[in-house]
Structure formats: C-alpha cells, structure tokens
C-alpha cells in the first residue's frame, strides 16, 4: 500500500506541473479596438450561446469609403498554443437562419488573427457556414487576438465567428510553493515506507 501511495504522490505532483489547457472566460480581459471603423463584438456568439468564450466580431461599415480595422485583442499571460474554430460571413445581420441576403462582394472585407501586429489572414470570402480550425503560438506578454478589416467601409460588414477556444501553456514554471510541497510529500511517504521496510527486516532477523 505504501508503494502505491508513493506512486500516487508522484503522479499527482507530475500532473500538477504539466502545462494546463483552459478555455472558460478566456476572452474576459480582451478589448475591442476600432481604427477608422465602427465594428463591434457580440459575446457569446449567436451561434454558440453555451460557449462563454465564443464571439462574433463584426467589422467596420461607417460609410467613409476608406480602409478600417476592428480588433479584439488581449495580452498573453504565458507562452502557449491557442486553438480555435472559426467561420466568416460578409452578410449582415450575421449568422441568421435563413441567411441574410444583404451581402458584400468577396474581397472587400477580410479576417484573420494577429500576434504583436503580425497579421495572418484567414479569408476574405464568405465561408457559407463552413467551420474551420486554426491555431497559433504566442509568447508571454504578446498582444494577440482577431481582426476584421474593411477596404472601403461600405456595403455590409464582415463578421468572424470564433468558438471552442483552448489555450495550452508551453512553458510553465511551477510556483516555488507547489514544487516544495510535492518534494516534501514524496520524501515523507518514501521515508515512512523505508521505516516500515526496515522494521519488517528487523523482525525477520529476530525470528
């Protein structure tokens, strides 16, 4: 039983030190930033009301005829890999059933993700309800998120729907207290086990 207890203690400590994956309220600290745009964000997404981290990011449509961009961004607390599902529509209102017939032409609005002002485009064409997966890496302190750009702020705005977000830390440094507690527990269990074994050996010698 002591052998099993030692194994259990080691396993619990290993699990405590492994990188964590989490998603709940992931975007709670995010901000909406408009640059020559009047975009908005809907949380949670109209398509995924049960997913608290999902959202619909709607781009600009202020009628200026100029380029603009809407960003939904936050700061990474640690390095890791972010995974998510996404779809895109250039029809407004977005995600209606049946779909809205008021749609902008392909190429006038676009969407993607960004990490420290490094922009990666996902599409500039309506995905027509199809959902795709994507992932990207961030470093601790990186400003990252998603964007919807517009070339003319005319017609209908583009909307990206993001859901099923998960973040897996890739460089977790355990807190000193956690590491010390794990080591102490293992040493105590190992010490008790050694004491019991020595006692049993002594009894055998006496017999």
Answer yes or no: is pLDDT of 25 > 60.
no
Residues 138 and 197 in one domain: no
Residue 136 shares a structural domain with residue 193: no
For the chain, the domain total comes to 2
What is the domain range of residue 198? 2-18+175-206
| Same domain, residue pair 126 and 190 | no
pLDDT grade for 15, boundaries at 50, 70 and 90: very low
pLDDT at 16 over 50: no
85 with 184, same domain?
no
SS3 content of the chain, % helix, strand, coil (to 5): 25, 35, 40
Residue 177 · residue 96 · CB < 8 Å: no
pLDDT over 60 at 55, yes or no: yes
Residue bearing the bigger pLDDT, 193 or 30: 30
Q: Are residues 38 and 128 in the same domain?
A: yes
Contact 91, 155 (CB under 8 A): no
The pLDDT value recorded for residue 116 is 97
> Does 63 share its domain with 143?
yes
Average pLDDT rounded to a whole number, residues 190-197:
53
Residues 141 and 152 both lie in one domain: yes
Closest CA to 81 of 19, 28, 163: 19
Statement to judge: residues 71 and 148 lie in one domain: yes
pLDDT at 32 exceeding the cut of 90: yes
Residues 84 and 110 in one domain: yes
Residues 6+ apart with CB under 8 A from 5: 189, 193
Higher pLDDT, residue 190 or 125:
125
**Domain match, 86 and 118 both:** yes
The CATH number given to whatever domain includes residue 141 is: 2.60.120.260
Q: Are residues 92 and 58 in the same domain?
A: yes
Do residues 114 and 136 touch, judged by C-beta distance below 8 A? Answer: no
At 159 the pLDDT is 98
The tokens 């017609």 sit on which residue?
155
Do 52 and 144 fall into the same domain?
yes
* DSSP-assigned states of every residue in 53-88: T-EEEE----S-SS-EEEEEEEE-SS-EEEEEEEEE
Put simply, whether the predicted model's pTM sits higher than 0.85 gets the answer: no
Label residues 153-177 b or e (16+ Cβ within 10 Å = b): bbbbbbbbbbbebbbebeeeeeeee
DSSP E strands, the chain:
21-22, 31-35, 40-42, 55-58, 68-75, 80-89, 109-115, 118-123, 132-138, 143-150, 159-169
Residues 6+ positions from 114 with CB-CB distance below 8 Å? 71, 73, 120, 143, 144, 145, 146, 147
pLDDT at 28: 79
C-alpha 132 chain-centroid distance:
15
Q: Express each pLDDT in 147-166 by its tens digit.
A: 999 999 999 999 999 999 99
């Amino acid at each position: 039983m002591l052998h099993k207890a030692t194994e259990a203690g080691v396993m619990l400590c290993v699990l405590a030190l492994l990188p964590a994956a989490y998603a709940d309220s992931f975007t709670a600290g995010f901000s909406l930033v408009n640059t020559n745009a009047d975009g908005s964000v809907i949380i949670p997404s109209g398509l995924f009301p049960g997913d608290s981290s999902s959202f619909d990011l709607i781009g600009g449509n202020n009628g200026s005829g100029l380029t603009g961009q809407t960003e939904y961004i936050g700061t990474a607390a640690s390095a890791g890999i972010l995974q998510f599902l996404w779809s895109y529509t250039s029809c407004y209102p977005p995600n209606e059933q049946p779909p809205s017939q008021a749609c902008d032409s392909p190429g006038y609005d676009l969407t993607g993700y960004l990490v420290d002002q490094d922009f990666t485009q996902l599409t500039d064409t309506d995905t027509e309800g199809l959902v795709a997966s994507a992932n990207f890496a961030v470093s601790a302190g990186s400003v990252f998120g998603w964007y919807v750009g517009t070339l003319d702020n005319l017609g209908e705005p583009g909307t990206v729907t993001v859901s099923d977000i998960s973040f897996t830390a890739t460089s977790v440094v355990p807190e000193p207290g956690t590491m010390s507690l794990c080591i102490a527990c293992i040493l105590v269990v190992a010490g008790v086990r050694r004491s019991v074994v020595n006692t049993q050996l002594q009894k055998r010698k006496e017999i």
